[in-house]
């Protein structure tokens, strides 16, 4: 099973927007692309909305059937580990092995030494084709890299081999993710991480490193854009070289866990993958849920009231809702509107405040981030919420489609 050159990770908390999401991708494919949808959902999301991995498979199959989509599509067990993978085995065919928590864990000295010895030919000046400066590789750097990443790659190997036994070799896509950490991996570290994965027999088709800057959920990138551009370009070249050097799958490509809406850096990524004719996987976060709230606001009446009450509750339960996402949100409390203020809003005012149009005068990233983490509240509303989704599926569906196509794919693929 091979992942295509371009793929987009799409999340859907409540599993009602599969068709609308796919319509956004079909629109880009009609412009000459072959972008594969990958429906992703993590264990944490399943817990909060009380859904099961099989529901994501059902949604994906139904959306594909409804639109007669003939391209490849996948269902991603997002950010799983040995402890959480089991319920995903049957219905997922894409597995994101999250080994970030193993970074820096101790490995046996004999393994560290063996790794360092196996890298003897790379010591000194390591030249990567396309990168105009060689990397200085010392024995000390190699030891450091081994201490940081051997245990993490070993963990990836264990999960991969568990899946290989459970599903059969070649029957699933393997992604290795190390993005949910504080410190970015450098391009030279990525090179040796890929060597470790190859050594351990992990045929990764996508790799998700941590980049410089903040990838907060649902809002734009903040950080050093020039530094990001250098890292991204060097990583693309490192992957290309590592594939040839270590015999990794030739389709191996970068996976960006974007947290959605990284409008500033999407065109940079687009330029670099075009320059080298490389593939890309971009995971978006659960911003489809935000489009549902926008759609409800636009629908007016009881739906607008529901959107307002979601905000009111989110404001009261802010600390609880933000806690699990503390590392990936930045909310300025002083810029959050009061419940009374929001109560007086029109449909348009609510939608424009929440919708991510960076230069719209009403857009408020603080409001947006708080609603983003508030999906648990909608889950608690149960069928009251999902009945509203069904009732207003037309307006919500067009918001979802527009978000995927206009704000994401257009920027990512220079459409």
What is the three-class DSSP state of 226?
helix
By CB under 5 A, the count of residues binding Zn ion is 2
Closest approach, Cβ 257 to Zn ion, in A, equals 3
Task: Output 297 or 328, the one with its CB closest to Zn ion.
Answer: 328
Query: Which of the stretches 26-34, 114-122, 219-227, 249-257 binds Zn ion when contact is defined by CB under 5 A?
Result: 249-257
Scanning 168-257, the segments in alpha helix (DSSP H) are 187-199, 225-246
Q: Exposed/middle/buried for 53, CB within 10 Å: 0-12, 13-18, 19+?
A: buried
**124-126/135-137 β-pairing:** antiparallel
Least distance (Å) between residue 177 CB and Zn ion: 5
Instruction: Give the residue nearest to Zn ion (CB).
Output: 257
First to last CA, the chain: 28
Nearer to Zn ion by C-beta: 97 or 314? 97
Residue closer to Zn ion (CB basis): 40 or 364: 40
Site for Zn ion in 169-198 (CB under 5 A): 179
Nearer of residues 45 and 401 to Zn ion, judged by Cβ: 45
Answer whether 354's CB lies under 8 Å from 290's CB.
yes
* 236/389 Cα distance (integer angstroms): 40
To the nearest whole angstrom, how small is the minimum distance from the Cβ of residue 299 to Zn ion?
32
8 Å CB contact between 134 and 35: no
178 versus 310: smaller Cβ distance to Zn ion: 178
In the complex with Zn ion, which residue's Cβ is closer, 93 or 179?
179
Q: How far apart are CA 294 and CA 159, in angstroms?
A: 39
Nearest approach in angstroms of CB 325 to Zn ion is 12
Nearer to Zn ion, 181 or 415 (CB): 181
User: H or E element: which one contains 76?
Assistant: strand 74-80
CA atoms within 13 A of residue 374's CA, in its CB half-sphere: 27
Interface with Zn ion (CB under 5 A), residue from 23, 46, 257, 372: 257
* CA distance linking residue 190 with residue 386, whole number of Å: 43
**CA-wise closest residue to 269 among 3, 1, 8:** 8
- Beta carbon of residue 183, minimum distance to Zn ion (angstroms, whole number): 15
Contact 405, 24 (CB under 8 A): yes
In angstroms, give the least distance from the CB of 360 to Zn ion. 28
Angle between helices 266-276 and 225-246 (to 10 degrees): 30
- Distance from C-alpha of 248 to C-alpha of 197, rounded to nearest angstrom: 9
Q: Closer CB to Zn ion, residue 76 or residue 179?
A: 179
Q: Under a CB-based contact definition with an 8 Å cutoff, are residues 254 and 234 in contact?
A: no
CB of 210 to Zn ion, least distance (A): 9
Q: How far is the CB of 96 from Zn ion (least distance, A)?
A: 7
262 lies in the binding site for Zn ion (CB under 5 A): no
Residues 83-122 that bind Zn ion (CB under 5 A): none
Residues forming contacts to Zn ion in the complex (CB under 5 A) are 179, 257
């Amino acid at each position: 099973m091979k992942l295509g050159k371009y793929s987009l990770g799409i999340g859907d908390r409540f599993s009602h927007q599969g068709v609308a999401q796919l319509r956004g991708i079909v629109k880009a494919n009609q412009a000459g692309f072959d972008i594969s949808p990958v429906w992703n959902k993590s264990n944490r999301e399943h817990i909060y909305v009380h859904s099961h991995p099989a529901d994501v498979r059902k949604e994906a199959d139904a959306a594909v059937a409804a639109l007669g989509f003939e391209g490849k599509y996948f269902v991603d067990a997002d950010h799983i580990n040995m402890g959480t993978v089991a319920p995903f085995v049957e219905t997922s065919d894409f597995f994101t092995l999250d080994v970030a928590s193993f970074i820096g864990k101790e490995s046996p000295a004999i393994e560290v030494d063996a790794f360092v010895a196996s890298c003897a030919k790379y010591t000194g000046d390591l030249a990567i084709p396309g990168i105009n400066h060689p990397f200085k590789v010392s024995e000390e750097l190699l030891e450091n890299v081994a201490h940081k990443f051997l245990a993490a790659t070993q963990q990836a190997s264990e999960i991969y081999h568990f899946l290989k036994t459970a599903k059969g070799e070649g029957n699933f896509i393997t992604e290795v993710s190390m993005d949910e950490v504080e410190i970015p991996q450098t391009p030279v570290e990525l090179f040796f991480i890929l060597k470790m994965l190859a050594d351990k027999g992990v045929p990764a088709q996508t790799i998700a490193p941590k980049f410089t800057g903040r990838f907060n959920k649902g809002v734009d990138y903040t950080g050093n854009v020039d530094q990001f551009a250098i890292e991204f370009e060097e990583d693309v070249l490192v992957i290309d070289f590592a594939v040839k050097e270590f015999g990794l799958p030739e389709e191996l490509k970068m996976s960006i866990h974007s947290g959605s809406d990284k409008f500033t850096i999407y065109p940079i990524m687009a330029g670099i993958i075009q320059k080298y004719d490389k593939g890309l996987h971009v995971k978006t976060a659960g911003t489809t849920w935000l489009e549902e709230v926008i759609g409800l606001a636009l629908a007016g009446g009881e739906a607008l009231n529901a959107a307002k009450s979601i905000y009111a509750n989110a404001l009261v339960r802010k600390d609880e809702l933000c806690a699990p996402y503390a590392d990936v949100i930045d909310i300025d409390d002083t810029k959050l509107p009061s419940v009374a203020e929001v109560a007086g809003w029109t449909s348009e005012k609510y939608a424009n405040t929440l919708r991510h149009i960076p230069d719209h005068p009403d857009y408020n990233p603080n409001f947006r981030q708080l609603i983003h983490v508030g999906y648990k509240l909608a889950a608690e509303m149960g069928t009251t919420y999902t009945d509203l989704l069904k009732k207003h599926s037309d307006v919500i569906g067009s918001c979802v489609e527009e978000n995927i196509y206009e704000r994401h794919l257009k920027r990512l693929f220079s459409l």
